[in-house]
């Protein structure tokens, strides 16, 4: 007889019982035992495993407490890409989607959709091999995410092993990690009580908690999870529909949202949307819309995918939220190039999932057009990740004391005169880098993600470095010493070392990033890329005249003038030379020939508003690569580049199966030689 048999059995029974209680607690919201009794079971299991470490298994509930902190997250390549969803913002956009679905599938009858709330959390992929959770990864860019397995193991709602007899050899479960509202409120109350900064919203709290290098911190955060879909499935046939798949998920012990339903035809879909919109305020978690998916997998397969999203699913977003609040004051901020931006300081108002206290009024014209005055009651709007805005003043509530705001005539930071240039909407501080506000902003810009990407050099740190005069130009960053960093507030040994390492790493860059980081006026990422490709060498660019610069595709007289003036200033030339002397380097720029690039010879249409470049710049960059830019979408169109608020062209492109590129994808395509065609 095997002497360890009873012990193994006891351990297995404890694990089964604990897993069952976890499921009842986290998924069914119906605990069957008191917390103290649950703790007792856990303690017994821990004791037995401590006495017999050879019996510890990867799926034991004791393995959920968190592991040793990581230095960084490893990258994970998604075997099946994690796609995103197209959006519909009103009934008619949803109806157009339904029509496209029926046209593609050649159907006249109503389509059955699975309808689920769109949780405001973050998407994650869970890989189970022979039922055991072996890897959890964030969505990342859809192709590659971060390995957050240790953190995910601490989430009680996520099974470490799938249940039942139907478990496949390999399955990747896609779902949303989120923070329920009650847990979020408790976490934030505790943060405030401890004098720490609270999270802006449950989404940020969930993301911040999941991206902790120390999984013991994640273990303390009240995270939850709902399953929504599938990546890889190996070793069993796919069920016939999305709703059957959810039954399978539940049988495997995965958490499935109890607000999922099916709806047949447009009318029932609208009703399901309205029903969730009505319930929204009472749900224990935040949702920002409703997801519709064609229910039948056979139909889904016949409809297919476009670019980075399935054609058989759509997210119908709830409308932007609006609230009223009071303008407490108006002041101005000084930007990197001295631009003076009026900002309204508001009585804090919770709208669209965040507390809004400041809203930009963009420039003097906008301030006067909206006629926002101190003391006014205003309507504030925020949708999704969009920056909040003042929609209008509630004129009926204006008091006699509310007088129009006068823009200052002197810079609020350095007291130099402000100047307004003919034809420009903005007013600028005339002091250039004598103005400490402009110094701070230019250093922040230089270190930013799209420029030199100095990890860990946040705004607050730059502000301290500039205020203490340790940094006055971007080049000064590279002469910072460990001692200087340690003299800053809240800077520990490890953070100082990490920052020095990040600065060292940033020295290896690309010419477009470096040029963009210099902060030359009107030189965004796209223009920086064009300049780098045209000149190849920094020297050649520095010496170029305005006429020569104007030969670069998206460079007009204004950009050319700014580039020339930038390099004419001795101070700027000195900063560039010092940066190079610290060892900043980049690989040689190889100009791509037109036929090599994924966009060459392609027919491209631009639509919507682009944020990092003008339409003309985008057009010029495309033409330079040999693309043909046309005004309307047809079967011959290869790519539609869709900015914000794209309208009918996007709908048409989707209905014709044209590849749609977001602005981000377009910029990375311009900067690379990837072929994104489906």
| Among 115-123, 194-202, 232-240, 507-515, the segment contacting ligand I6G (CB under 6 A) | 115-123
Asked whether the CA dihedral 449, 450, 453, 459 is positive or negative, the reply is negative
| Among 80-88, 460-468, 524-532, 552-560, the segment contacting ligand I6G (CB under 6 A) | 80-88
Locus of tokens 């006429």: 547
End-to-end CA, the chain: 62
Residues 222-251 that bind ligand I6G (CB under 6 A): 228-229
Name the active-site residue from 118, 440, 619, 649: 118
Give me the least distance between CB of 116 and ligand I6G, in Å please. Answer: 6
Nearer residue to ligand I6G within complex by CB, 97 or 228 = 228
Residues 278-297 that bind ligand I6G (CB under 6 A): 291
**Site mask, ligand I6G, residues 119-158, x = CB under 6 A?**
----x-----------------------------------
Give me the least distance between CB of 302 and ligand I6G, in Å please. Answer: 16
Closest CA to 83 of 125, 127, 135, 136: 125
Q: Quick one: tokens of 80?
A: 């099946």
Nearer residue to ligand I6G within complex by CB, 229 or 255 = 229
Give me the least distance between CB of 529 and ligand I6G, in Å please. Answer: 30
Give me the least distance between CB of 463 and ligand I6G, in Å please. Answer: 35
What's CA 644's distance to the chain center, in Å?
Answer: 15
Supply the angle between the helices 663-671 and 525-535 in degrees, to the nearest 10: 10
Nearer residue to ligand I6G within complex by CB, 122 or 327 = 122
642 beta partners: 607, 662
Q: Judged by CB under 6 A, how many residues of this single chain contact ligand I6G?
A: 12
Give me the least distance between CB of 284 and ligand I6G, in Å please. Answer: 18
Q: Quick one: tokens of 23?
A: 């499921």
The answer to whether residue 206 forms part of the interface with ligand I6G (CB under 6 A) is no
| Among 79-87, 503-511, 519-527, 590-598, the segment contacting ligand I6G (CB under 6 A) | 79-87
Q: Which residues, other chains included, contact 303 with Cβ-Cβ below 8 Å and sequence gap of 6+?
A: 101, 104, 105, 294, 310, 311, 312
Nearer residue to ligand I6G within complex by CB, 262 or 542 = 262
Nearer residue to ligand I6G within complex by CB, 306 or 633 = 306
Nearer residue to ligand I6G within complex by CB, 174 or 428 = 174
Q: How far apart are CA 226 and CA 232, in angstroms?
A: 18
What's CA 462's distance to the chain center, in Å?
Answer: 23
Q: How far apart are CA 145 and CA 587, in angstroms?
A: 26
The answer to whether residue 310 forms part of the interface with ligand I6G (CB under 6 A) is yes
The answer to whether residue 85 forms part of the interface with ligand I6G (CB under 6 A) is yes
Q: Is 460 a catalytic residue?
A: no
| Among 78-86, 162-170, 247-255, 560-568, the segment contacting ligand I6G (CB under 6 A) | 78-86
Give me the least distance between CB of 228 and ligand I6G, in Å please. Answer: 4
The answer to whether residue 263 forms part of the interface with ligand I6G (CB under 6 A) is no
Give me the least distance between CB of 635 and ligand I6G, in Å please. Answer: 26
Give me the least distance between CB of 215 and ligand I6G, in Å please. Answer: 23
- What number of CA atoms fall less than 13 Å from residue 356's CA on the CB side? 30
Residues 402-431 that bind ligand I6G (CB under 6 A): none
What's CA 76's distance to the chain center, in Å?
Answer: 18
| Among 42-50, 81-89, 598-606, 631-639, the segment contacting ligand I6G (CB under 6 A) | 81-89
**How far is residue 591 from each of residues 11, 433, 594, measured CA to CA in Å?**
65, 34, 9
The three-state (H, E, C) secondary structure of 560-621, written as one string = HHHHHHHHHCHHHHHHHHHHHHCCCECCCCCCCCHHHCCCCCCEEEEECECCCCCHHHHHHH
The three-state (H, E, C) secondary structure of 61-85, written as one string = HHHHCCCCCCCCCCEEECCCCCCCC
Q: How far apart are CA 258 and CA 314, in angstroms?
A: 20
The answer to whether residue 462 forms part of the interface with ligand I6G (CB under 6 A) is no
Residues 604-663 that bind ligand I6G (CB under 6 A): none
Q: Quick one: tokens of 517?
A: 């980081």
Residues belonging to the active site: 118
Interface residue list for ligand I6G (CB under 6 A): 83-85, 116, 118, 123, 176, 228-229, 291, 310, 313
């Amino acid at each position: 007889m095997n002497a360890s048999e009873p012990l193994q059995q006891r351990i297995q029974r404890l694990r089964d019982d604990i897993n069952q209680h976890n499921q009842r607690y986290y998924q069914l919201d119906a605990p069957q035992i008191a917390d103290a009794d649950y703790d007792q079971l856990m303690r017994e299991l821990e004791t037995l495993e401590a006495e017999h470490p050879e019996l510890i298994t990867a799926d034991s509930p004791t393995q959920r407490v968190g592991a040793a902190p990581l230095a960084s997250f490893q990258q994970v390549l998604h075997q099946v890409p994690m796609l995103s969803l197209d959006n519909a913002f009103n009934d008619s956009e949803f109806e157009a989607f339904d029509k496209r679905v029926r046209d593609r599938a050649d159907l006249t009858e109503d389509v059955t959709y699975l309808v689920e709330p769109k949780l405001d959390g973050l998407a994650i992929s869970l890989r189970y091999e022979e039922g055991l959770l072996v890897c959890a990864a964030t969505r990342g860019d859809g192709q590659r995410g971060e390995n957050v397995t240790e953190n995910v193991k601490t989430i009680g709602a996520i099974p470490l092993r799938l249940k039942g007899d139907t478990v496949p050899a390999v399955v990747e479960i896609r779902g949303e990690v989120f923070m329920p509202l009650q847990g979020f409120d408790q976490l934030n109350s505790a943060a405030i009580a401890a004098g720490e900064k609270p999270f802006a919203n449950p989404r940020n709290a969930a993301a911040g908690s999941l991206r902790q290098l120390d999984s013991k911190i994640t273990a303390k955060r009240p995270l939850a999870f709902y399953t929504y879909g599938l990546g890889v499935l190996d070793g069993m046939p796919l069920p016939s529909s999305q709703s059957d798949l959810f039954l399978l998920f539940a049988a495997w012990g995965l958490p499935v949202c109890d607000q999922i339903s099916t709806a047949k035809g447009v009318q029932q879909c609208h009703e399901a949307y309205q029903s969730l919109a009505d319930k929204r305020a009472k749900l224990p978690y935040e949702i920002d819309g409703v997801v519709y998916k064609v229910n039948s997998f056979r139909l889904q397969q016949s409809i297919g995918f476009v670019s980075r999203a399935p054609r058989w699913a759509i997210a119908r977003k709830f409308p932007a939220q609006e609230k009223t609040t009071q303008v407490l004051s108006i002041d101005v901020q000084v930007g990197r190039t001295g631009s003076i931006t009026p900002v309204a300081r508001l009585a804090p108002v919770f709208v669209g999932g965040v507390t809004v206290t400041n809203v930009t009024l963009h420039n003097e014209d906008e301030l006067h057009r909206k006629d926002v005055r101190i003391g006014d009651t205003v309507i504030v709007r925020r949708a999704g990740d969009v920056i909040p805005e003042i929609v209008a003043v509630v004129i009926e509530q204006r008091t006699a004391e509310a007088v129009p705001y006068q823009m200052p005539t002197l810079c609020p930071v350095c007291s130099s005169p402000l100047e307004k240039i003919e034809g420009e909407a903005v007013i600028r501080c005339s002091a250039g880098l004598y103005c400490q506000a402009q110094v701070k902003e230019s250093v922040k810009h230089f270190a930013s993600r799209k420029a030199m990407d100095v990890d860990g050099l946040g705004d607050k740190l730059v502000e301290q470095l500039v205020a203490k005069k340790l940094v006055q130009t971007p080049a000064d960053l590279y002469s910072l010493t460990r001692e200087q960093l340690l003299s800053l507030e809240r800077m520990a040994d490890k953070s100082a070392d990490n920052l020095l390492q990040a600065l060292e790493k940033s020295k290896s860059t690309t010419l477009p990033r470096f040029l963009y980081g210099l902060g030359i006026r009107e030189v965004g990422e796209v223009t920086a890329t064009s300049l780098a490709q045209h000149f190849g060498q920094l020297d050649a660019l520095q010496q170029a005249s305005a006429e020569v610069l104007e030969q670069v595709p998206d460079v007009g007289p204004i950009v050319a003038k700014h580039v020339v003036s930038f390099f004419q200033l001795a101070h700027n030339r000195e900063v560039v030379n010092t940066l190079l002397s610290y060892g900043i380097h980049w690989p040689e720029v190889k100009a791509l020939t037109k036929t090599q690039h994924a966009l060459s010879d392609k027919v491209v249409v631009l639509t919507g508003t682009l944020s990092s470049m003008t339409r003309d710049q985008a057009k010029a960059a495309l033409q330079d690569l040999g693309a043909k830019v046309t005004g309307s979408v047809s079967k011959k169109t290869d790519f539609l580049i869709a900015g914000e608020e794209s309208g009918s062209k996007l709908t048409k492109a989707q209905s014709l199966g044209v590849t749609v590129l977001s602005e981000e994808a377009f910029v990375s395509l311009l900067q690379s030689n990837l072929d994104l065609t489906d």
